[in-house]
Chains A and B, each alone.
Chain A
Amino acid sequence: QSVLTQPPSVSGAPGQRVSISCTGSSSNIGAGYDVHWYQQLPGTAPKLLFDGSRNRPSGVPDRFSGSKSGTSASLDITGLQADDEADYYCQSYDRSLGGWVFGTGTKVSV
């Protein structure tokens, strides 16, 4: 089980806003490490969506945004679209493990 916990699933209607949480601890997010977010469409490799420096790679719409507070982070998706249906993962560094970890993953349904 991962040290970063995400809700297994979230859903919303087209056009709505959804938020995906990523809950960690003082050993990772709470220690100030960056949190990155990835989107994985069915049957494909993950894709970087948003990085901890608040940057979006070129081509990623500004409907996707990330934030961090305390020992948690979140990814917001506004103006939900059908092709946003995917699995989403957070990633951060954990100093107890001495390496990077992914969150448990969240399936977004539209």
Chain B
Amino acid sequence: QVHLEQSGAEMRKPGASVNVSCTASGYPFMNYGITWVRQAPGQGLEWMGWISAYNGDTNYAQKLQGRVTMTTDTSTATAYMTLRSLTSDDTAVYFCATTHYDTYTLDVWGQGTTVTVSS
């Protein structure tokens, strides 16, 4: 079945960068995009952006423009999200999710990756 496996928890100091991976299985990787969503402790969901696994097109949330980069490696069916210049406000659980190109529904989600930013 369709499954997304995310990389493990990360701890970073303020100002550093973090790279989270999301490896897909159970479907043709290029058939769906990948959306990244984060959730700060006790807070709601925040849409971070989307990447097409078909052609690499991206759409990033305005507030993260310039700090976030999303990429895919079709040879390994893996999506990556890099966030730079981290602050404590970036402490959150980061999720990836398969995304239909037509409806933009987030159908299958990864288990989440906890990123903690602390000095």
Give residues in A with beta carbon < 8 Å to B. 2, 34, 36, 38, 40, 45-48, 51-53, 57, 87, 89, 91, 93, 97-105
Cβ of B106 under 8 Å from chain A: yes
Report how far A90 CA is from B105 CA in the complex, Å.
Answer: 11
What residues on A are CB-neighbors of B50 within 8 Å? 99-100
Tell whether, in the assembled complex, residue B110 and residue A91 are in contact, meaning their CB atoms are under 8 Å apart: no
Among A34, A47, A57, A91, max chain B CB count under 10 A is at A91
Tell whether, in the assembled complex, residue B59 and residue A102 are in contact, meaning their CB atoms are under 8 Å apart: no
Q: Which residue of B lies closest to A104 (CB)?
A: B44
Contact of B109 among A34, A45, A102 (CB under 8 A): A45
Contact of B44 among A45, A53, A100, A102 (CB under 8 A): A102
What residues on A are CB-neighbors of B106 within 8 Å? 36, 38, 46, 48, 91
